[in-house]
Amino acid sequence: MADEETERPGEITIDDFQRVDVRVGRVVAAEPLKGARKPAYALRIDFGAELGVRQSSAQITEHYQPEALIGQLVLAVVNFPPRRIAGFRSEVLTLGVADDAGAVVLIAPRSDVPLGARLF
């Protein structure tokens, strides 16, 4: 039986994809998330004037130190409902992929782009 990470999802339409609102933001604050079951950081991410600053819990402690995250561009899903994680209100899902060991590597633009720019 395949697990969630290796099982290939079924086909979706372009309309399905366009419902997922993925935007570029800049990390403005990062600190360890106290009380989390798995090591994680509490991030504050600026998505520009339209969306403002949002919070995200991210399990990215293997490859990143909090101070090194400040100023980094990231991609995040901004239209999921908020979730409570260890008492922290996570408002966006910061996107990444797993390396060979399963540690998360962030997904980010390779060039500077406007905050709030949408993935298409």
CATH of the domain at 94: 2.40.50.140
Q: Is residue 59 part of a domain?
A: yes
Q: Let me know if residue 4 belongs to a domain.
A: no
Looking at the domain assignment, is residue 33 inside a domain?
Answer: yes
SS3 5: coil
> Ramachandran region of residue 87, left (φ > 0), alpha (ψ -120 to 50) or beta?
left
Is residue 61, in this structure, part of any structural domain at all?
yes
Pair 73, 116: CB distance under 8 Å: no
pLDDT, position 1: 40
- Residue 21 burial (10 A CB sphere; 0-12, 13-18, 19+): middle
Judge whether 94 lies within some domain.
yes
Which mean pLDDT values do the consecutive 10-residue runs of the chain (120 residues) have? Answer: 68 95 98 96 98 98 97 98 96 98 96 96
What's residue 5's pLDDT? 59
Which residue range(s) make up the domain with 50? 19-106
58 within domain boundaries? yes
Q: What is the pLDDT of residue 2?
A: 45
13 is a domain residue: no
How far apart, in whole angstroms, are the C-alpha atoms of residue 24 and residue 78?
A: 10
Q: How deeply is 53 buried, as exposed, middle or buried, from its count of CB atoms within 10 A (0-12, 13-18, 19+)?
A: middle
> Does 64 reside within a domain?
yes
Q: How many domains does the chain have?
A: 1
